[in-house]
Structure 1
Amino acid sequence: MGRIAGRFARVEPRRRVRDLVLGLLSDLPRKNCWSIAEWAGEANPDGMQHLLGRARRDADTVRDDVREYVPEHPQDKNAVLVVDETGDVKKGTHTVGVQRQYTGTAGRIENSQVAVYLVYAGRRGHAAVDRELYIPRSWTCDPARRRAAGRSGRVTGRSQRILGHP
């Protein structure tokens, strides 16, 4: 955690990111803001949601820190990079990138958000080293919808970084 701590402007997000990472590494059967917040002893998911959605940070720099750290530690010559497309079913339509689309998570067309992850995997463990959110045309062609979701910047191409700031 020492490598990324300086990427967070305040001490509260630093502590919370530690709890988030430990929660993600835990044996919780389902990992989301609610379950990880409860596991960390918090009364509600507000702090975790704030960390992921609004806390000031440079997500790309944190990703770069993790990307540098990962191959230094497992030291596994047989490690591989895995590309995984994952869909997250969403109830609403306001989260960036959500639309009715096929997601393997549900096995059918649902309201969902789709992202692609690059994961370093070896005998001693695995770690996410990059991510990209799929932004459907229904979002790239609708500036009012992007603005309402806090993504008012110009979108070029069909994707935009997940967890980044506008």
Structure 2
Amino acid sequence: MILPRILVEDFNLYNISEFLLHQLIYIVSGVKLKYSDELEKIILVPLEDNEQYIEWAKSAIENEFSLKVEINKNLRNKIKLSNSSFFILTKILKDLDSYTEDKKTGIILITKKPILVRDQFLLRIVHSIFPILGIAYLIPGVCAVTTFQDRIPKNIFNHTVSHEIGHLIGKHGYPISK
């Protein structure tokens, strides 16, 4: 799978459009979507072993947000993956809400597989061409990011991790909208 040129060359375009969409929702509804202002800790759950991406995510979170980071490989047993060998289905995630009930803890899943929100054939084709790098609000406080079989460069991966943490603390479009 080759990342679209726009993701590699002009990665900020996605964040700007998402930030503007969030502003429109905020103006129309008056609601600011966020998980918690008091986020203190992030639990990284690597679904496959890759120490390089785990360390990149840990350092990005600690440097950018000054949050405590815990790596928990045991939680991967609670996460049921899809039957597909290529995609991870986010709708199947269960049993993680007990870790985020206090709203002071967030969870980021790190996977090699591309992320698919719904198991539909057309979406599999679309997301093979235009992949999702990260997704928030799977269940409150849980995000997922992908390494695309360990082919994402460090700067894009760190940007994706920071962006998903931005969703949790209510800074949509982060880091563009610091």
Task: Give the TM-score normalised by the residue count of structure 1.
Answer: 0.25
Compare CA radii of gyration and give the structure with the larger one. 1
More helix by share: 2
Task: Give the TM-score normalised by the residue count of structure 2.
Answer: 0.24
RCO (CA 8 Å, sep 6+): is it higher in 1 or 2? Answer: 2
More strand by share: 1
